[in-house]
Amino acid sequence: MSSYMKGTVLLIGFWLSFISCNSTKTNTGKIKAVEIKKENGKYTLYRNGKPFIIKGGAGYTHLKELHEIGGNTIRVWDTLQLTKVLDSAKANHLAVIVGIPLPLNDNMDIFYNNDVKVNASFKKITQTVNKFKNHPALLCWCLGNEIAFPWKPNFNRFYKAFNSIVDMIHRDDPDHPVTTTIMTFRRKNIANIKLRTNVDFISFNIFGSIHTLAKDLDDFKWLWNGPFLITEWGIEGPWRKDKQNAWAAKIEYNSTEKADQYLSIYQKFMPVNNPGFLGEMVFYWGQKQELTPTWFSMFDKNGTKTEAVNTMQYIWTGKQATYHAPAVKYMLINGKDGPDNIFLKPDSITQAIVHLDKPEKGLTFKWQLIAEDWFSPNNIFSAKEPKTIEHAIVEINGTGIKFKAPNTEGPYRLLAFVYNKQGYVATCNTPFYVLANP
């Protein structure tokens, strides 16, 4: 080989190496704030030029605690108080996935077939993107939450509106990718997102169906094998029909059981080895009323941690927490458990007791009797705090109480909160029905 050819080969090699090493930069040479790269068949999210695996909490509170246990990202579903959220996240060394709400498309005439509404929304979203696109805590934009992506031509206006926003973000904010969330793994949604939109990656809100997610991803890779994020995962929700009693009251696991379930679900089913996996966000990082005030909540409403917080610390860091919540076994009402179909007479004096796995000194018990948030059309449970039945407890004795059953017929639920001196709370509850003429 001549010296000229050798020099040419060396020069080409140098430039190829330069391009490869600087692929996270824009045309101006500036490193992109956030981007997704495919390298050796695997997708990696880069933040400020460094690999970034999302370890997140779906929620916007308790940011200091999230950072302390190894979390790095939060997710919000709207842009309300976004300045406060982004600034707080920055102060706590966290990134933020910002949700941009979009109307559902189940009835196109309500929104997407109305050009005035669509244009007004587009203008507002454009203003929001340009206002916050340079905030250092911003990780990406999430356009819509659990929207369906049908194929039928009568949804063309939806896709036009959706893609106009995606294109605007790519143009005005090329530093931050765009995603959208879908509910569970649905092939039709995924196929249409791939074929009819320009989002940078897909996000899944996935609960019980995470058990089959690894297989679902593998079986569908012939059409789609792109990058993805788990934006919501956790214990199974109250929509399950196998955990209920005779009047369809849902049976909730106690907080000790939930902590074990979070760990088991992650270790057995989280597709961390899939080449498209960008990370995961546990649900719910905070306190949320959904059927009960404790079902998904990893904190109580005063900010006290449950054992699930310790579970996430172990998942994200491999380190066990120093202190733990009380270990609950179950609650009994008149010696019966939730699935036992507990019926009580109006105004009857009733006994309840919480059984602990490892009794400890200095525990404090808080009891709450609520009217059941029972009716749930389409499995949508009210976010309104349930009515507390005041002055129902007539006697407290250690881990047990005596309470007076309500005098109005209907479904109720007794909740127990067990606090220890280390700043943790354990929770459990049992549903019952007041029947006037049993």
- For residue 2, being part of any structural domain is answered with no
Residue 53 and residue 162 share a domain: yes
Please answer whether residues 418 and 426 qualify as being in contact, where contact means their C-beta atoms are separated by less than 8 angstroms: yes
Beta bridge partners of residue 180, listed in sequence order: 202
Question: Structure pTM?
Answer: 0.90
Residue 199 and residue 123 share a domain: yes
Residue 213 and residue 157 share a domain: yes
Tens-place pLDDT, residues 123-157: 999 999 999 999 999 999 999 999 999 999 999 99
Q: Which structural domain, as residue segments, surrounds residue 361? A: 328-434
Question: Integer distance in angstroms from the first to the last C-alpha of the chain?
Answer: 99
Q: 210 phi and psi, to 5 degrees?
A: -65, -20
Pick the last residue of a domain from 292, 317, 342. 317
Pick the last residue of a domain from 317, 340, 355. 317
Closest CA to 428 of 404, 406, 399, 402: 399
Q: How many domains, in total, are found in the chain?
A: 2
CATH code: domain of residue 373: 2.60.40.10
Residue 300 and residue 372 share a domain: no
Residue 311 and residue 391 share a domain: no
In terms of DSSP bridges, do strands 178-183 and 50-51 run parallel, antiparallel, or are they unpaired?
Answer: unpaired
Residue 306 and residue 360 share a domain: no
Residue 347 and residue 305 share a domain: no
4 pLDDT higher than 80: no
- Mean pLDDT, the chain, whole residue set: 91
Q: How confident is the model at residue 6 (pLDDT cuts 50, 70, 90)?
A: very low
- For residue 255, being part of any structural domain is answered with yes
- For residue 161, being part of any structural domain is answered with yes
**pLDDT score of 29:** 60
Residue 54 and residue 86 share a domain: yes
**pLDDT score of 358:** 84
Q: CA angle 225-228-230, nearest 5°?
A: 140
CATH code: domain of residue 136: 3.20.20.80
Residue 142 and residue 97 share a domain: yes
Please answer whether residues 292 and 255 qualify as being in contact, where contact means their C-beta atoms are separated by less than 8 angstroms: no
- For residue 263, being part of any structural domain is answered with yes
